[in-house]
């Protein structure tokens, strides 16, 4: 080959080399452009997720912070009093004997892990997806709830006088009705197990669990399996459609065979000797409806906090509140253990003679979900010949959950329920309600003719009598 031929060959090879370099460079540019687009898309998605999570978490933090700031106010709402306004009054805080523990093989969280220790020290890591999802789903800290297992010891929060009380063996039997809807599994199971292990078996006729059409899988087959250890004491009823708390309780009561109905929320833990004081009061007067003193279980730390002596009241908006007990009611050596006359009940926890429950008309079937039924039954008890008391020697802990999600159906039901109370029971004093809430004056509330008829049949007294005799302080608000 001539030198000229060699030169042409070299030039051709150089050209191919240059073309190859250009292709590689272009490929690199394309890859970098593609990678940049992918990164932009990921950042955009992350931004969207961040934007979705921040508002509810902000609402939760803001709500939690405001509730804490209000804990020193003298007159508090139900939420702030239960969460933060309780002084810890512990007398002889011995440990409750622990029965054989029930463990969940699927729970792998070690109770002494740094993660749990930081949660119990209030150093909550809100970037933990399990914590934040639990708050949004259940309104409580599921990490700590899981770590506690299915039963635990709680401090005996009764007054020292209560510790020396003796109760007869031949008390009435009790059917404990617990309705639940999408409850956190461990919280629900601790409620059931605390009742089983801290109630004398001869007094506990049964526990009636009413599943109000829950959606979560662990409340179906898993719950059935775990309840097998309590076989013979548990009746599980599953509603075929959502009924709400009020109608679910009536369904549960319809399956009861005990002398006394005891209604509990699905996020409670009963304390020592909790049932005997309630049963004794009802055995002396079948028309006495009684409530335990409700202690507080913090929804974040699950710390059990003793409650002070309080009574239940409500304002002209029909909003339930806790109020101080009059000094004369706790005077004398037995004062802290004496029953407290209460104008109203919180509604979640109370005991009533089963026959008397039907005699006074159960609940108002026209009410939906929950809300207002506690005021309605309180008025009906007092105005129709019964009595309503809080029994300080009976203590039950209750988890105060933070519900972030709004439920328009529930809000509408609460308004209608309040209106049914106003139009059936408050007579001319319903003007006080509508003066404060004029927008509700012409809202529909369904047919109340059956409840009006019931009031006449029971020969109930007037709302003015209730104000004069039971709750005169309401007129001053």
| For the ranges 96-110, 227-241, 327-341, 379-393, the one whose mean pLDDT is highest | 379-393
Residue 98, beta-bridge partner list: none
**Least confident interval from 5-9, 236-240, 299-303, 373-377:** 5-9
**What three-state secondary structure class fits 167?**
coil
In angstroms, rounded to a whole number, what is the distance separating the alpha carbons of residues 54 and 127?
11
Q: Which residue has the higher pLDDT, 170 or 86?
A: 170
Across 357-381, average pLDDT? 94
pLDDT of residue 77: 31
Q: Which residue has better confidence, 131 or 104?
A: 131
Give the tokens for residue 51: 């934007």
pLDDT in tens, 229-259: 998 899 999 999 999 999 999 999 999 999 9
Over pLDDT 70: what percentage of the chain? 73
SS3 400: coil
CATH class of 151-477: alpha beta
Model pTM? 0.75
The residue among 415, 417, 431, 439 whose CA lies nearest residue 463 is: 431
Give me 65's structure tokens: 């912070």
Compare 202 and 402 and report the one with higher pLDDT. 202
Does 104 have pLDDT greater than 80? Answer: no
- H helical segments located in 317-404: 354-359, 373-383
**The CA-based dihedral angle spanning residues 17, 19, 25, 31, taken in that order and rounded to the nearest 10 degrees:** -120
Q: Would you say residue 67 has pLDDT above 70?
A: no
Q: What's the DSSP call for residue 126?
A: T
For the chain, where do the domains classified as CATH 3.90.550.10 start and end?
151-477
The percent helix, strand, coil of the chain (3-state, each to 5) is: 50, 15, 35
Range with the largest mean pLDDT of 30-39, 42-51, 250-259: 250-259
Confidence bin at 66 (pLDDT 50/70/90): very low
pLDDT band of residue 376 (cuts 50, 70, 90) is very high
Across 106-110, 318-322, 339-343, least confident range: 106-110
Euclidean distance between CA atoms 235 and 322, whole angstroms: 33
Tokens of 85: 């306004």
Structure confidence at residue 112 (pLDDT) = 42
Most confident stretch, 27-41, 83-97, 121-135, 336-350: 336-350
Task: Read off the pLDDT of residues 392-418 as tens digits, 9 standing for 90 and up.
Answer: 999 999 998 877 667 787 888 899 999
Of the two residues 8 and 426, the one the predictor is more confident about is: 426
The C-alpha angle 223, 249, 350, rounded to 5 degrees, equals 100
Mean pLDDT, the chain, rounded, equals 81
Give the CB-side neighbour count of residue 222, counting CA atoms within 13 A: 12
In whole angstroms, give the CA distance from residue 250 to residue 137: 27
475 CB-near residues (< 8 Å, 6+ apart)? 467
Tell me the C-alpha to C-alpha distance, in Å, between residue 17 and each of 3, 74, 103: 21, 87, 71
Examine the pLDDT at 117 and tell me if it is beyond 50.
no
For the chain, how many residues are written? 477
pLDDT at 127: 75
List Cβ neighbours of 83 (8 Å cut-off, separation of 6 or more).
67, 68, 71, 296, 298, 299, 400
Is residue 44 very low, low, confident or very high in pLDDT (cuts 50, 70, 90)?
low
Confidence at residue 361, expressed as pLDDT on a 0 to 100 scale: 96
- Residue 237, strand partner residues: 210
């Amino acid at each position: 080959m001539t030198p000229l031929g060699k030169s042409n060959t070299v030039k051709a090879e150089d050209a191919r080399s240059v073309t190859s370099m250009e292709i590689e460079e272009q490929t690199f540019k394309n890859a970098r452009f593609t990678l940049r687009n992918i990164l932009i898309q990921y950042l955009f998605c992350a931004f969207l997720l961040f934007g979705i999570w921040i508002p509810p978490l902000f609402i939760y933090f803001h709500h939690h912070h405001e509730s804490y700031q209000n804990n020193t106010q003298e007159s508090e709402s139900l939420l702030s009093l239960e969460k933060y306004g309780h002084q810890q009054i512990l007398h002889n805080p011995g440990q409750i004997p622990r029965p054989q523990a029930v463990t969940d093989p699927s729970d792998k969280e070690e109770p002494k892990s740094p993660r749990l220790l930081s949660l119990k020290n209030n150093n909550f890591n809100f970037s933990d997806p399990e914590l934040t999802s639990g708050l949004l789903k259940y309104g409580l800290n599921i990490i700590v709830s899981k770590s506690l297992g299915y039963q635990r010891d709680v401090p005996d929060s009764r007054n020292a006088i209560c510790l020396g009380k003796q109760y007869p063996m031949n008390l009435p039997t009790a059917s404990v009705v617990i309705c639940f809807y999408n409850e956190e599994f461990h919280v629900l199971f601790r409620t059931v197990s605390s009742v089983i292990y801290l109630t004398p078996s001869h007094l506990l006729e049964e526990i009636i669990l009413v599943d109000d059409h829950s959606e979560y899988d662990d409340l179906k087959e898993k719950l059935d399996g775990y309840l097998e250890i309590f076989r013979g004491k548990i009746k599980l009823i599953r509603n075929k459609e959502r009924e709400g708390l009020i109608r679910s309780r009536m369904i549960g009561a319809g399956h009861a065979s005990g002398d006394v109905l005891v209604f509990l929320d699905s996020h409670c833990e009963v304390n020592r000797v909790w049932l005997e004081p309630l049963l004794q009061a009802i055995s002396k007067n079948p028309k006495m409806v009684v409530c335990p003193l409700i202690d507080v279980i913090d929804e974040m730390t699950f710390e059990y906090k003793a409650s002070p002596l309080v009574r239940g009241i409500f304002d002209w908006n029909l909003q339930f509140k806790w109020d101080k007990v009059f000094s004369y009611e706790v005077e004398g050596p037995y004062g802290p253990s004496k029953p407290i006359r209460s104008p109203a009940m919180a509604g979640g926890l109370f005991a009533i003679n089963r026959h008397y429950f039907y005699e006074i008309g159960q609940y108002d079937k026209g009410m939906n979900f929950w809300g207002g039924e506690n005021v309605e039954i309180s008025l009906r008890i007092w105005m129709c010949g019964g009595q309503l008391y809080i029994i300080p020697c009976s203590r039950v802990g209750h988890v105060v959950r933070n519900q972030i999600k709004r439920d328009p159906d529930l809000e509408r039901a609460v308004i209608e329920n309040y209106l049914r109370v106003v139009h059936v029971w408050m007579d001319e004093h319903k003007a006080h309600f509508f003066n404060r809430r004029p927008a509700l004056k012409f809202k529909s509330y369904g047919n109340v003719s059956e409840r009006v008829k019931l009031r006449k049949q029971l020969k109930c007294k007037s709302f003015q009598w209730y104000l004069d005799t039971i709750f005169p302080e309401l007129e001053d608000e």
